[in-house]
Structure 1
Amino acid sequence: MNAHLDALEPSLVWRHFRTLCNTPRPSGHEAALVAILESWADAQGLAHDRDSFGNLRLRKPASPGCEQAPGVVLQGHLDMVAQANSGHAHDFTRDPISTYVADGWLHADGTTLGADNGLGVAAILAVLEDPDLRHGPLEALFTLEEETSMGGALNLAESWLEGSLLLNLDSEDRGQVYIGCAGGADVEVDAQLPSAATSDHEQVIEIALTGLKGGHSGADIHKPLGNANRLLVRVLRSLEAFDARLISYHGGTLRNAIPREAFAQVALPADEVDAAMVAIAGLETILLRELGSGDSGLSISVQRLTEAPEAEPLTLDASVMLLAALHAAPCGVERMSADVPGVVETSNNLGVLSLENGRLHLCALVRSLHDSAVVAMADRFQALFGLIGARVKVENGYPGWAPNPNGELLATFNARHAALLGREPEVKVIHAGLECGILGSKYPHLDMISFGPLIRGAHSPDERVELASVEEFWTLLRALIEDLATQR
């Protein structure tokens, strides 16, 4: 499958990316790909090993005469975000990703593409295979479960890596290099809320809020995008005037993807349904006006259900309290950085929200350049949802990556970028959880940078990569490795 990728340049990179597209690899299901890469390494004569978590390392000795060059660790993560458009049947644990080219970009058919971080991984494999590349000692580090928990990086073996320089290939902007990133943590909210049976005079309706763009909960959080959970909660709040009671709710599938869709069932007096539907239509118009061109695809549909619901609705008091807490919860950009202009300092994404049989579950992802701000935001959730008796826990915390604008690796990269492309790159700090922060905490001696090709729509079915940027990325990566091979 995806044979057309073999015709693209650079062929070494795209051939490996084809393997990644054809091998299902959602987070937690990377074993098949690891086995393929180990077999490939054996065929290439490359040493390989794994740490106790399962992270994979491949090693290639230096080119003759470059043995004294600093060791370079090329790093990427093997897993991808599993997101498909509503109605598009795709089993990410079994089905390959189907790709196509349009207007100079590579897309996937109805799903995430996996260019994040598949193209970084493909480029690393191409480096290891390239017979003409002159290089110092190379290590390829492939981590697991980055998209769901940063588990691979968090559990990475210490005193394992040997290199002193690290190239993280998990960035998504052409002409930019990253030297810092936000840390973060998952905030999990759970509660069992009281319910009461529907009465004979109540009617059940189902509300679907769809059509939003979605996006990366870090890199895209500052953009004028709608969050389906935030917006549907607002719709449900408007129905309190009709004594509506929440029965069920499902919104978002990943805590690090801005939710594109959300669905809810409510029970309300039958003689209020028509008025409620008029109110929802009016609010849809208002929300479309507020979102503007930033997210113009919003659609809210309402359906009357003829069969009794499978679960009881919440009591009216419980429904009102829950929606009030969700409406008040932090969502989006909390603060911009005072020290790095244009960079988000602290944010939160209401990523996954569900209500089933009275059981509430919310998973939010808090990010900040300051670890203390992550703690403070998590504490706000504990304070807010504690008011409705919910249990709140903070998990999967990971540190940020403090910028080092005076690093020698950055200077070498800037010089090579200028020589090849006629300009120095923009030096950036990203509001997303690159693994560099965690890796740096385990290997504080590492001098690190992060760069990559131009990817847009990551973590959503709109994900795409610009073909020309992949060629530029590959040329730059090869040249940088050759430059580093001359250093002592």
Structure 2
Amino acid sequence: MSDLSQLAPQPLWQWFEKICSFPRPSGHEAALSQFIQNWARDKQLEVIEEAVGNLIIRKPATPGMENRKPVVIQAHMDMVPQKNADKTHDFTKDPIEPWVDGEWVKARGTTLGADNGIGMCSALAILQSDDIAHGPLEVLLTVDEESGMTGAFGLQPGVLRGEILINTDSEQEGEIYMGCAGGVDAALTLPLSHQPASKDSQSFRLMISGLKGGHSGVNIHLGRGNANKLLARFLFEQSTKLGLQLIDFQGGTLRNAIPREADAGISIATSQVAALQQAVSDYEALLRSEFAIADAGVKLTLTEIPATAEVMTMASQQQLLALLNACPNGVIRMSDEVEGVTETSLNLGVVSITDQKVTVLCLVRSLIDSGRDYVCGQLSALASLAGAEVKFSGAYPGWKPDNSSPIMAIVRDTYQHIYHKEPVIMVIHAGLECGLFKKPYPDMDMVSIGPTIRFPHSPDEMVNITTVGQYWQLLLAVLQRVPEKV
């Protein structure tokens, strides 16, 4: 990791090198949080740890800037834990292994955590610096953003003093975000029953892998394969033709990551094994043709396993495969107001079987509440038809764009002054925490910026080194341009 600390800007990259040594999947931020608290107190900075786990660190204004409007720089501490199948890695214990590949920083076989580690490190580097000009400053580091926005939900009113909030969780240099999608989690559960496997049968595990996956918001429009949907499609088509008996089904690990892998146990008459092998080969060729541009690495693997004694009943199998095959997934509607931005989407993220039932976890996102409600209605109708139960939880609001935002105008004008070109003002199809912050702090003026991060929420995640420097330069220049308090 030594090569990271030589990158520019050094203060930011040195911090990133440090945080890579701390495991920080959602719900496991405690060790990193304690390290930051100890460091901040050694620096004589004021530190507040909220009951939910958020950190608020205050730094006085630099001389001559005491009368500027107070600013909050905000990031989340946690990261998405995703790894390649051949990578041995425990996200609760093992450090991330970053490396430099030309213009990009990547991780070896896992997510990198640039989402939102770069933003967090920029805030910490500013706290550490003695020569960066800024007014009264607060750094807000939230917890559990990726798995439920627990920190943003738990942020208490009356604690922050800032009038301006700069969110650092955007992922495209040259774009300024002033709005985001809201969302809601959906969990469908279906009871399962079982019966003895047929005699003279063999058991196999069918796995789909090699897909790119990615962020279920910002990558959902790219047309990548969803492993859960693609596996269900094959099983639905072939179960009657080949007399397949389903043993189990599991796929995906997070409701906000497009699933890259899924597998199912199947039992089949010995006389049909050759037909199954041919069907798998044909389906792999079909998928590689269909996804030749969006997801060319798709792969199917059929492996014989010890014979099973028990399979799902035909009724349970048909219900499950019909549910998965019919469940909506991907882009539901593109925005009419913001060209090129997804308005409403759904990600069928996780399928798991425990205690004689299957659970299907989905994440619905929409820029408008009516779009979110429409998809929830679809899921409710589907559950009714399939004999399943659906529960919705964790609903969070979108961040409504404010075209008259003063801080957005400052960031736009500052960017144009530095780079001599207009930035793109955007609304992102992802769940930035700003929408939740508006509840306890309705009058706070907010904007979101960040460097270019590709393929977040997947082991292909990478951050562009040049754009980290551009983001850093923009952030420092904006802090200098914050106006005085009225």
Dislocated runs of 4+, deviation >6 Å: none
In the TM superposition, 1:149-298 aligns within 5 A as 149-240=148-239, 241-298=241-298
| 2:430 aligned partner, one-letter code | A
**3-state SS, counterpart of residue 250 of structure 2:** strand
CA distances 1:340-370 after superposition (whole Å, capped 9, x unpaired):
1111110000101123464201110000001
Q: Does 1:57 align with 2:56?
A: yes
> Which of 382, 391, 414 is 1:393 aligned to?
391
CA distance in 1, matches of 2:464, 2:111: 15
CA distance in 2, matches of 1:440, 1:270: 61
CA distance in 1, matches of 2:364, 2:343: 11
| 1:89 aligned partner, one-letter code | T
In the TM superposition, 1:311-390 aligns within 5 A as 312-356=310-354, 358-390=356-388
Q: What is aligned with 1:472? A: 470
| 2:301 aligned partner, one-letter code | S
Give 1:463 deviation, angstroms: 0.4
**3-state SS, counterpart of residue 79 of structure 2:** coil
| 2:464 aligned partner, one-letter code | E
Any gaps of 5 or more consecutive residues in structure 2?
Answer: none
> Which of 435, 438, 459 is 1:437 aligned to?
435
How many matched pairs?
485
CA distance in 2, matches of 1:379, 1:245: 31
CA distance in 2, matches of 1:357, 1:67: 60
**3-state SS, counterpart of residue 179 of structure 1:** strand
Any gaps of 5 or more consecutive residues in structure 1?
Answer: none
Contact kept in structure 2, 1:337 and 1:345, CA below 8 Å: yes
| 1:422 aligned partner, one-letter code | H
Contact kept in structure 2, 1:136 and 1:485, CA below 8 Å: no
Q: CA RMSD in A?
A: 1.3
In the TM superposition, 1:395-414 aligns within 5 A as 395-414=393-412
In the TM superposition, 1:46-125 aligns within 5 A as 46-125=45-124
Sequence identity percentage: 44
Give 1:377 deviation, angstroms: 1.3
CA distance in 2, matches of 1:245, 1:387: 22
Contact kept in structure 2, 1:313 and 1:358, CA below 8 Å: no
**3-state SS, counterpart of residue 403 of structure 1:** coil
**3-state SS, counterpart of residue 441 of structure 1:** coil
Give 1:485 deviation, angstroms: 5.4
Contact kept in structure 1, 2:251 and 2:261, CA below 8 Å: yes
CA distance in 1, matches of 2:99, 2:51: 37
Q: Does 1:21 align with 2:43?
A: no
CA distance in 2, matches of 1:92, 1:144: 16
Query: Under a length normalisation based on structure 2, what TM-score does the superposition of the two structures give?
Result: 0.98
| 1:429 aligned partner, one-letter code | V
Contact kept in structure 2, 1:370 and 1:400, CA below 8 Å: yes
CA distance in 1, matches of 2:484, 2:10: 26
| 1:202 aligned partner, one-letter code | S
